[in-house]
Amino acid sequence: MKVVLAFDKFKGSATSLELNEAAQESLCGLDDVTTACVPVADGGDGTTAVLASTMPGQWLSVPSMGPLLELDPVVAQYYMGDGGCALIEVAAASGLSLVPTHRLDVMRATTLGTGLLMRDAMERGCRDIVLGLGGSATCDAAMGIMCALGAEFLDADGHHLYPSGASLGQIARIETTGIPQTVKECRFTLLTDVSSPLCGERGTARVFAPQKGATAEQVELLERGMAHVAAIVGDGIALQPGCGAAGGIPSLMMHLLDCRLVAGAPYVLERSGLVEALTDADLVITGEGCLDRQTMMGKGPGCVIGLAREHGVAVAAVCGTIESEFDTAAAGLEAAVAVSKGMPLEQAMDHDITLEGVSRAVRQLVTQRLTAFS
């Protein structure tokens, strides 16, 4: 019996790689069971680590700035592949987790720090930049990134604008003469874990800004700013699914640089080798922190489930929790187990308890299947 283990992270508890390893160890000693591990990510936090596991290279730690100037500088990591490909996450220098809850300020938050990481990679010779967009504290439509890469944003009086969400509606001119040739030579792949467009009811301001501390009034200000950016970049960019990711980062990047916007989960799974692993597989076990309505809308486990079904392989899920509205049967799952059900939050988020629960559930699922087919 061949079992494919394809876990996404349990956010705040365990990484994709840790979960796969724990699940694999739990199956050691079971007769006639072979395993294949496929790490999963969707463009959000942890994507760089998953992609890094698929290529030779090295991790680099670089001094940068966080989302807010008034906070301490950060030392952020990115991965430089041997072939000149840099893997960078917005969350590393511009992430929501870097800002204390009581200090959240989405109007002033900037992606400058992410741009500094990208510039560092270019100075080391990288010309292929893969940017994971999840987990940002920002809503600046990449003004910060582009300023770090040499662009200037001017208002109607010719004054330079600070690169943040508060400035979006004031952009009158973008000066690009300061963007060096090395930046123009780069190819950027933007990995998105959401399908939101730039503006509107499903856009970045209305859906995600409140999660970053925006008040109702600030949401409307940001929405007007994003509409202004949409007028600059055009509908061909602004209406693309995913353009609203990470506070609208794809918008100005795609307008000014050689970028392609792709769904993160299929991109990662292609490189992790899921299709190859499905060959002769009898069961796939996937999972994430919570199975919910978004799981089947481009999230990593949703893509795993879809590919397993396409290849006629049974699939089950082991997760932290299961949203009451999630329809296990409709999703095509043979079984779904919530390892944190009924636990206090602190216990449910504990790293060791999570790994133990997942290991136990995976072994039980496989043992039950072995018994049923023996």
243 and 330 share a domain?
no
Check whether residue 99 and residue 186 sit in a common domain.
Answer: yes
Range(s) of the domain holding residue 173: 47-265
Task: Please tell me the predicted confidence (pLDDT) of residue 371.
Answer: 85
Q: Are 295 and 71 in contact (CB under 8 A)?
A: no
| DSSP result, 148-162 | HTT-EEE-TTSPBPP
Please indicate, yes or no, whether residues 120 and 242 belong to a single structural domain of this protein. yes
- Give pLDDT, residue 294: 82
Half-sphere exposure of 240 (CA within 13 A, CB side): 22
Q: Give long-range contacts, CB 8 A cutoff, 24+ apart: 252-255.
A: 252/141, 252/142, 252/143, 252/145, 252/146, 252/174, 253/142, 253/145, 253/146, 253/188, 253/190, 254/190
Q: What is the pLDDT of residue 374?
A: 64
Q: Rounded to an integer, what distance in angstroms lies between the CA atom of residue 99 and that of residue 85? A: 29
Structure tokens given for 282: 């009898």
- pLDDT confidence of residue 297: 79
| Residue 306 and residue 209 share a domain | no
Three-state secondary-structure class, residue 108: coil
Q: CA-based angle 106:110:112, to the nearest 5?
A: 170
- 249 and 133 Cβ atoms separated by less than 8 Å: yes
* Of 240, 265, 290, the domain-final residue: 265
Out of 265, 288, 320, a domain closes at 265
Q: How far is CA 94 from CA 146, 219, 350, in A?
A: 14, 19, 25
pLDDT given at position 45: 84
- 121 and 151 housed in the same domain: yes
CA geometry: angle 140, 206, 95, nearest 5 deg? 45
Q: Which of 223, 249, 265 is the last residue of a domain?
A: 265
Q: In this structure, are 52 and 31 located in the same domain?
A: no
- Over its length of 374 residues, how does the chain's per-residue pLDDT go in tens digits? 999 999 999 988 999 999 999 999 999 989 899 999 999 999 888 899 999 999 999 999 999 999 999 999 999 999 999 999 999 999 999 999 999 999 999 999 999 999 999 999 999 999 999 999 989 999 999 999 999 999 999 999 999 999 999 999 999 999 999 999 999 999 999 999 888 999 999 999 999 999 999 999 999 999 999 999 999 999 999 999 999 999 999 999 999 999 999 999 999 999 999 999 999 999 999 999 999 888 887 889 999 999 999 999 999 999 999 998 899 999 999 999 999 998 998 999 999 999 999 999 999 999 998 887 76
Q: Residue 220: which CATH number? A: 3.90.1510.10
Query: Domains in the chain: how many in total?
Result: 2
Same domain, yes or no: 187 and 66: yes
Same structural domain, 257 and 294: no
Residues 31 and 128 grouped into a single domain: no
Q: Is there a single domain that holds both residue 257 and residue 114?
A: yes
Q: What is the pLDDT of residue 99?
A: 96
Same-domain pairing of 188 and 57: yes
Give the residue among 191, 323, 195, 327 at the shortest CA–CA distance from 268.
191
Question: Do 120 and 204 reside in the same domain of the chain?
Answer: yes
Return the CATH number at 362.
3.40.50.10350
